[in-house]
Amino acid sequence: MSGITGSDSKTMNKNYKARIENVLRYIEANLNTRLTLADIAEVSHFSPYHFHRIFSGIMGETVNDFIARRRLERAVNQLVFKPDVPVTQVALDCGFSSSANFSRAVKLHFGYSPSELRNPDKAQSSKIGKLFSKYGKEFQPSDLYPSRITTDVINQTDFKDTAMKIEVRDLERKPLCTLASPRGYEPEGIYATWDKLIAWAGNHGIKPEEQQRFALAFDNPTVTPLDKCRYTASIVIAEGVAVNAPFELAEIPSGKYAVLHYKGPVEETINAQLSIYSDWLPDSGFEPDNYPLMERYLNDAREDGYVEMEIFVKLKEL
């Protein structure tokens, strides 16, 4: 359910896909430790002589590049959303041996130092990082902070009262039929994925007006290239419904969730998401649990020209 994005899932052998999905879950769970190619290949059950070629062919980047990118993306999120945690602690928590090595890696990838990411006013414009040179993604540290959105956006959508708009809900477990977008957050890939999933649900007796549609968003598109972001479309199903490839059976786990209602331009949903982390979580008594952000869609943005959704963040006590 982590969402392979580097290959066309229609042509991918389901056995290969399952093995690579296991690898991605293993890497995500162990980013703060030393990961060797031999250990990762063992998880995949592919020969270590060929595993790195298989991974690169499916994911569109090498194992080492994937691990390095995910460590840095996780670290940047911690720098922004945990401003009181020292840079050295962030570095160690994300698998770096020292703050010096961490700072060099951040500068090489993003074009900015950790201190510039935490203090955008001190940042100098840069396009020297790998994020731009390799992935073609333009990035500014101010993109990470929803309070810095433009005046036009502030007039359209006010996130200042985020705390008033968020409610904490207790959800029961919900079984899902899911389908990962093969092109990450790229709109065409997302819409094609939803069309297939909605058609599957209709063929299984779930009428469009009865479909509960959730997206699982695994990455922060302000720091992750859109085609590398992992996005999984899902529809709630009844217990015992058979789900076959290319679709997968998954679930929304029971627990407490912060829920923010958002209605507005599609391109501004990222600011609504970030406002939960920056404006509400620090004083909430909670921290995010180890589960991806969810979006429950309440309309069809293609028909209406705007999106209406509920944004869910799974919580745990501090």
242-259 pLDDT, tens digit per residue, is 999 999 999 999 999 999
145, 139 Cβ separation under 8 angstroms: no
CATH architecture type of domain 66-144: Orthogonal Bundle (1.10)
For 212, list phi and psi in degrees, rounded to 5. -95, 110
Structure tokens at 56: 């690169």
Give tens-digit pLDDT for 37-55: 899 999 999 888 788 888 9
Residues 6+ apart with CB under 8 A from 93: 32, 75, 78, 85
Percent of the chain with pLDDT over 90: 59
- Mean pLDDT, the chain, integer: 87
Rounded to 10 deg, the angle between the 63-81 and 14-29 helix axes is 40
Six-digit token string for 15: 């056995």
> What is the secondary structure of 18-54 as a DSSP string?
HHHHHHHHHHHHTTTS---HHHHHHHHTS-HHHHHHH
Give the pLDDT of residue 277.
85
pTM (predicted TM-score): 0.74
pLDDT of res. 156: 46
- Residue 233: what residue type? A
The fold of 165-317 is Multidrug-efflux Transporter 1 Regulator Bmrr; Chain A (3.20.80)
Residues 6+ apart with CB under 8 A from 219: 73, 184, 185, 228, 229, 230
273-302 pLDDT tens trace:
888 887 888 889 998 998 999 999 999 999
pLDDT in tens, 220-238: 888 898 888 999 999 999 9
Burial class (CB in 10 A: 0-12, 13-18, 19+), 127: exposed
Q: Give the residue, 155 or 67, on which the prediction is more confident.
A: 67
Residue 133, pLDDT score:
84
Residue-range domain boundaries for the chain: 66-144, 165-317
pLDDT at 158: 52
